Amino acid sequence: MIQTSASILVIDDEINNFEVIEILLHKSPYQLLYAASGFEALAKLETHRPDLILLDVMMPNLDGIEVCRRIKAQVALRHIPVIMVTALNSKENLVRCLEAGADDFIGKPVNGLEFRARLRSMLRIKKQYDDLKESLRLREDLSNMLVHDLRNPLTNIVLACRILQLYGLTEKQQQKLEQIEYSGRRLEAMIDSLLILAKLDSGKLMLNLEQINICGIAQDAIADFQEIAEQQQINLASDFSDTDGKILADASIMRRVLDNLLSNALKFSLPNMQVLLKIDSPVGCQVRIQIHDQGRGVSDEVRRRLFEKFETGESFRAIPQTGLGLAFCKIAIEAHQGKISVEANEPNGTIFTIEL
């Protein structure tokens, strides 16, 4: 059922054509808006979001094809259905309309019965899109609320572990307590990553950009992972010799990205292998960060979707994978106007590369 408040923007340089549309729709519960040119329409769309756009093809200065192309190029507008109204009924012109992003077209002279049916069809699609978007928003809000609410009990668990460590414990009790605290801290880091990921994905996170030394941040990350690497008998190495490492970035976000990539490399490496964190400044980019590992690597098929949310690589030693760590890295690096990629590390392993 079409909502009675649906609004339709009619873009046509001939006011008579708008009046014809008014007559055809005089019994229909739509709010009609009018723009006499492509430029006027684009200006209206900056402040108003109609449910449907009727767009004449033949207009002076800025024709309907170009107007449609500009509308569909904007993320905030591309979901609005556009019906092209045209007297040019050749296959070539219809193809041009569709390639510009038009969702449908109506030939002139307009048939009232067909015209109203096509409007109802496009408005149904728009309503389905709006309902789906609202459903996804509610689900996302609920997920974010649940993730946020998990922080308080985890904070209490970690704090309780610290307090218990002040008392005389046996060696075995101390080990178990350290395991509990370590697991709690891992969960805290995952929750923080989820919250940051949600804000980055929605464009609501403001990056705290400042001049930082990425080599210093990387060295701190390596120091924190050194004990884990030694337990797994993995050589965790670094090479920062070809750069001063100074970049404009959010220090906490970049540290989280490095933590995710190092954790990932260690997770999929076997004893006596090496994980290398290399930072340099090649021609063409401010800084390049690379994490080399000698693990089993990933197939071409997995590599193409590795940075998508909830996508995981091939199963390895029953290691749990959430599919969020690399998605977080991608969104975080792109928020810094950089890019991240993965390639094979011959003869074995992978190389994750960040360019900023």
In a domain, 41, yes or no: yes
pLDDT of 204 above 70? no
Region 284-311: mean pLDDT is 81
- The domain total for the chain is 3
**CATH number of domain containing 300:** 3.30.565.10
In a domain, 342, yes or no: yes
Rounded to whole angstroms, the Cα distance separating 167 from 158 reads 15
Query: Do 164 and 195 share a domain, yes or no?
Result: yes
Rounded to whole angstroms, the Cα distance separating 67 from 279 reads 45
Tokens of 226: 């050194």
In a domain, 88, yes or no: yes
In a domain, 1, yes or no: no
Last residue of a domain, one of 108, 135, 162: 135
Domain hosting 191: range is 150-202
Query: Do 197 and 225 share a domain, yes or no?
Result: no
* CB 100 within 8 Å of CB 68: yes
Read off the amino acid at residue 353: T
pLDDT of 174 above 50? yes
The pLDDT score that the predictor gives to residue 255 is 92
Region 117-140: mean pLDDT is 86
Q: What is the pLDDT of residues 44-94, one digit of tens each?
A: 999 999 999 999 998 988 999 999 999 999 988 989 999 998 877 777 888
Region 98-110: mean pLDDT is 87
Query: Do 155 and 121 share a domain, yes or no?
Result: no
Query: Do 257 and 288 share a domain, yes or no?
Result: yes
Region 236-244: mean pLDDT is 90
Query: Do 277 and 308 share a domain, yes or no?
Result: yes
Rounded to whole angstroms, the Cα distance separating 283 from 290 reads 15
Q: What is the pLDDT of residues 270-285, one digit of tens each?
A: 899 999 999 999 887 8
Query: Do 59 and 171 share a domain, yes or no?
Result: no
The pLDDT score that the predictor gives to residue 97 is 86
Rounded to whole angstroms, the Cα distance separating 84 from 65 reads 9
The pTM (predicted TM-score) of the whole model is: 0.54
In a domain, 190, yes or no: yes
Using pLDDT thresholds of 50, 70 and 90, give the confidence band for residue 309: low
Query: Do 330 and 274 share a domain, yes or no?
Result: yes
How many CB atoms are closer than 10 A to CB 178?
12
In a domain, 145, yes or no: no
In a domain, 144, yes or no: no
C-alpha closest to that of 35 among 17, 133, 188: 17
The pLDDT score that the predictor gives to residue 318 is 43
Query: Do 197 and 214 share a domain, yes or no?
Result: no
In a domain, 34, yes or no: yes
Query: Do 235 and 189 share a domain, yes or no?
Result: no
What length is written for the chain? 356
Q: What is the pLDDT of residues 182-192, one digit of tens each?
A: 788 778 777 77
First CA to last CA distance, the chain: 49
Rounded to whole angstroms, the Cα distance separating 195 from 145 reads 9
Query: Do 163 and 129 share a domain, yes or no?
Result: no
Q: What is the pLDDT of residues 246-274, one digit of tens each?
A: 999 999 899 989 998 998 899 888 899 99
Query: Do 107 and 36 share a domain, yes or no?
Result: yes
